[in-house]
Amino acid sequence: MHHFHPLKTIKVAKETNDSVNIAFEIPQNLRHKFSFKQGQYLNVRFVFGEEDLRRSYSIVNAPTEGNTSLEILVKHLENGKVSTFLNENLKSGDIVEVSAPMGHFYTHYHPSNEKTYVGIAAGSGISPVLSNLKEALYQEPKSKAYLFFSNKSLNDIIFKKEIDELVHKFEGRLQVIYLLSREKHFEDELFEGRISAKKLNLLLEKFTDIPTQEATYFICGPAEMIKEVAEFLKNDKKVPSLQIMYEYYAAPDEDENAEMSDEFKAIPNIESMVTLIIDDDEYSFHLNSKKKSILDQALNDKLPVPFACKGGVCCTCKAQVMEGEVFMEKNFALTEDEVARGFVLTCQCHPTTNVVMLSYDV
Ligand code: FES
């Protein structure tokens, strides 16, 4: 289970007009809990009146940079209560409830490797990509990295100062190409607009010097970009799936009024007895398969279930099916292997058998 810990903010700095860079101090007694892998994320929790709001933010640091503090980047979203608070009200020294790092947007590095890593990021999608590229460069002296990074305008380039310093620090091993989607700044049209499959093809041809299928790719940004680029690499460039890593920061379909999928319509309409195991305690409730998700019903019943995005993206609500069967509406977070082992995202799950038991203690 994922518990929240009160952490002190030791840096709250405007990064661009609409984003803020926040660093949390990790006290000595929590360092083992907050040890992390490159590309992982944290959840933060805020209670505003009756609302218990949680959000996931990727860690910007690389593990090699140390474990005394962790940084995140929070982009201000219109109507986003948490992102507005963090951008406009949070001050250095404030305490925020933060959960331990999680997620699996990373690969393993080894000093003897001589590899090529390609980061493809847009806007705040830079955080987990940067974390991975930094760790690769620190851990693997013979490897090199490319970063194709798209932002709206020059002033919107997130972490530009740090990235430019890294280019200098890892001279000859890190090449960064900035693209601007809403500002004409460069002479070459290649650096204008968003990153599409076509543009990526041109960028790879122009800047990289190894066959496309030999590199490992880290992709994070808008869902449409991730889908297009990942499919292009897999289908057109024949890059093995294990070398294409991507992280969604929002579900591709966030339309709350979206139609129920045909698969969801097809599940049986049954009443189920759902039992949840949470920190060794068992909680049971009745749930109709066509109504709320298992997570929503558990929250309705005020059970201590972990959650953050509620959109099938962050993996915080992960549990394992111990008995019965469930239907999972969306999954942008679990690997095929995890699904095969019975893991599910409870924010997306509906029971499809009369008895269902899920464990969060896994
Ligand atoms: S709460 Fe994020 S995937 Fe379920």
> What tokens were used for 91?
């001050």
The answer, yes or no, to whether any atom of ligand 1 lies below 6 A from the CB of 136, is no
Same fold, 4-99 and 266-359: no
12-30 pLDDT tens trace? 999 999 999 999 999 999 9
Evaluate the CA torsion angle 90, 95, 126, 258 in order and state its sign. Answer: negative
Q: In the chain, what are the domain boundaries?
A: 4-99, 116-248, 266-359
302-315 pLDDT tens trace? 999 999 889 999 89
Residue nearest to atom 3 of ligand 1 (CA): 312
CA–centroid distance, 310 to ligand 1, in Å, is 4
Strand 216-221: give its sheet, edge to edge: 174-180, 144-151, 116-122, 216-221, 244-248
CA–centroid distance, 298 to ligand 1, in Å, is 13
User: What is the average per-residue pLDDT within 180-190?
Assistant: 85
92 strand-pairing partners: none
Q: What is the pLDDT of residue 254?
A: 47
The answer, yes or no, to whether any atom of ligand 1 lies below 6 A from the CB of 333, is yes
The answer to whether residues 260 and 269 touch, using CB atoms and an 8 Å cutoff, is: no
What is the SS3 assignment for 339? helix
CA–centroid distance, 56 to ligand 1, in Å, is 10
- Could you identify the residue written with the tokens 């008895």? 355
Query: Architecture of domain 116-248 in CATH?
Result: 3-Layer(aba) Sandwich (3.40)
User: What is the average per-residue pLDDT within 293-297?
Assistant: 97
> What tokens were used for 46?
């805020």
Assign 3-class secondary structure to 252-305: CCCCCCCCCCHHHHHCCCCEEEEEEEECCEEEEEEEECCCCCHHHHHHHCCCCC
Query: Architecture of domain 266-359 in CATH?
Result: Roll (3.10)
**Pocket-testing residue among 294, 309, 331, 338, ligand 1, by greatest number of atoms within 8 A of Cβ:** 309
The rounded mean pLDDT for the chain is: 94
216-247 pLDDT tens trace? 999 999 989 999 999 999 999 999 999 999 99
162-182 pLDDT tens trace? 999 999 999 999 999 999 998
The answer to whether residues 52 and 110 touch, using CB atoms and an 8 Å cutoff, is: no
Fold designation for 4-99: Elongation Factor Tu (Ef-tu); domain 3 (2.40.30)
Pairs from 279-288 (Cβ < 8 Å, separation ≥ 24): 279/1, 279/304, 279/360, 279/361, 280/361, 287/350, 287/351
Burial of 257 (0-12, 13-18, 19+ CB in 10 A): exposed
* Residue 54 CA, closest ligand 1 atom number: 1
CA–centroid distance, 309 to ligand 1, in Å, is 5
